A and B are shown apart, each in its own frame.
Chain A
Amino acid sequence: MTTQAYPTTWRRPPQIIKNHHWRLALQVGILVYLVLAVSTVDVNWARVYEGLERGQRFIMGFLQPDFTSRWKDISQGLVESLTMTLTSTVVGVLISIPVGIGAARNLTPRWIYYFCRAIIATSRALQEIIIAIFFVAMFGFGPFAGFITLSFATIGFIAKLLADDIEEIDAAQAESIRSTGASWWQVVNYAVQPQVMPRLIGLSLYRLDINFRESAVIGIVGAGGIGATLNTAIDRYEYDSAGAILLIVIAIVMVAEYSSSYLRKFLQ
């Protein structure tokens, strides 16, 4: 047998649309649509030019941040934000655990499963700002509305990921515990908890820094914290104070990021 008989080139066959003409038509179609879509975007270049100057002042504010003149407002906002972050994460995670277990298909009867998945879907469907507007209207301005908002948002996040994680546990370990005559609670405690705990802790730490960032955003709609301080600074055209606030937020998020990744590695 000679090697001549075999081809020396190979091309990956098309996977999704097998027909050559259809593929070409689709590609051309996408290109035409893109061109048309871009051409409908109406840009007012004069306004962009005007805005550049304001943007420049903003950036200058960043470069010369003013921590001192509004320090009292900033520190109060920060304390509010950090309190809100920590309390809402703790409360949110505590509520997420039963909801997450309930939303795991392999542990619970159908009706509990659908009920818990509905809670999760509701929490996830509403963006933090929308929930915050709602709770601010309900409980008035201030960090309490922020605390409720972030707790509610945490439930959707942690419970969903926890439930998905529980659904993917090694079934053999659960089966072996069940075969000893263990009750449902004992199966959860002995076979499920050890398997999902590291991830649950990791997710909670991750949520902690999401909640801090979100606390800065929901402050803008009146839910207290550093966001409210930032909003006030921008409203007063005090870009140097706003720059200082943003720098502090960035620093805190970075610290949270590094410490949580360190902790997660330690917990494995």
Chain B
Amino acid sequence: MLTLSGLSKTYKTGDTALADVTLTVPEGQILGLIGPSGAGKSTLIRCINRLVEPTAGEVTLGKVNLVGLGKSELRRQRRRIGMIFQEYALVERLTVMENVLSGRLGYVPFWRSFLRKYPGADVQRAYQLLDRVGLIDHADKRADALSGGQRQRVGIARALAQDPELLLVDEPTASLDPKTSRQIMRLLTEICAERGLPAIVNIHDVPLAQQFMQRIVGLRAGRVVFDGSPDELTEATLTTIYGEEDWNEMRRGDEEQAKAEADARERMEALAQ
């Protein structure tokens, strides 16, 4: 279970990114974090594993308060939190296998990681994860040889290699096409369900969030302005989160896009025949 209490972050420039955020994420829950650009979604996620130092508040994972930990203890705690990034953030020039194994870096001594001599169990597990995300045949390819969707699958496998107790997911589909986005979201939710893994997912695509999330938290200017189930996300609540906009129009746009895609797919199939 993850608990954030009174979490705040003010950057050196004086910008307040987070103001007194209090949240509890129970075991196995997938929480979607929505909000306009600059609402503090990225900051919130990074304050949890302290890639960004929070200015105030507590982050408690299980029984450990992550805020105020020393360097080596923080590294030990980071192993418990898997992170999946926007634009994948794979090390492009390393192989897929090295990228997945890099999820074990917090567990192995430097010489093992330097010589790429990981314990047998780690290698076996890496293969198992690659198989789970459907990329076992690509293990020896360089990461930059993969397509966007495949790269994000490697990103998921890397995070899972950590044996995490929590997943932080930062805009996982921001650079993917709508169809691949849905596949990635489906894979993520399946994996979380298999392991009873809680996850916080930053997502700016509202229909996608409604389709896949169990709970949605709306952030605006660093404050929680909505916290509820996807069904409760009405036009009025969207307006509190994002400001005035014609939401029905946007949703219609999304349907239109889906139709256009289906149409394009049919045409491609017709061409292939």
B80-115 vs A, Cβ < 8 Å mask (1 yes, 0 no): 011101010111111000100011111100100110
A175 vs B89: C-alpha distance when bound (angstroms): 8
Partner of B78, one of A172, A180, A185, A191: A180
Closest chain B residue, CB of each to CB of A198: B93
Q: Please report the number of residue pairs spanning A and B whose Cβ atoms sit closer than 8 angstroms.
A: 82
Residue from A170, A172, A175, A177 within 8 A of B105 (CB atoms): A177
Question: Can you pick out 17 interface pairs between chain A and chain B where the beta carbons lie within 8 Å of each other?
Answer: A172-B87, A175-B89, A176-B85, A176-B158, A177-B105, A179-B49, A179-B83, A180-B158, A181-B77, A182-B102, A183-B75, A185-B110, A190-B102, A191-B91, A194-B91, A194-B92, A195-B92
B102: contacting residue among A170, A177, A195, CB under 8 A: A177
Could you tell me if A194 and B114 are in contact, using CB atoms closer than 8 angstroms? no
Residues of B within 8 A of A178 (CB): 51, 78
Chain A contact-residue range equals: 20 to 34
Whole-angstrom CA separation of A197 from B82 in the bound complex: 27
Minimum distance in angstroms from B105 CB to a CB of chain A: 4
Cβ of B79 within 8 Å of any chain A Cβ, yes or no, is yes
Check if B162 is an interface residue, CB within 8 A of chain A.
yes
Residues of B within 8 A of A172 (CB): 85, 87, 89
Q: Would you call A189 an interface residue if the criterion is a C-beta within 8 Å of the partner chain's C-beta atoms?
A: yes
Report the 8 A-B pairs with minimum CB-CB distance, sorted nearest first: A181-B106, A182-B105, A176-B89, A181-B78, A194-B93, A181-B79, A172-B89, A179-B83
A64 within 8 A of B: no
User: What does the 1/0 interface line of B116-152 toward A look like (CB < 8 Å)?
Assistant: 0000000000000000000000000000000000000
B195 interfacial by beta-carbon distance below 8 Å: no
Q: Is B76's CB within 8 Å of the partner chain A?
A: yes
CB distance from A215 to the nearest CB of B (A): 33
- CA separation between A198 and B78, bound complex, in Å? 31
Residue from B81, B94, B110 in contact with A186 in the complex, judged by beta carbons closer than 8 Å:
B110
**A76 near B: Cβ within 8 Å?**
no
Q: How far is the CB of B81 from chain A (nearest CB, A)?
A: 7
- B51's partner among A179, A182, A197 (CB-CB below 8 A) is A179
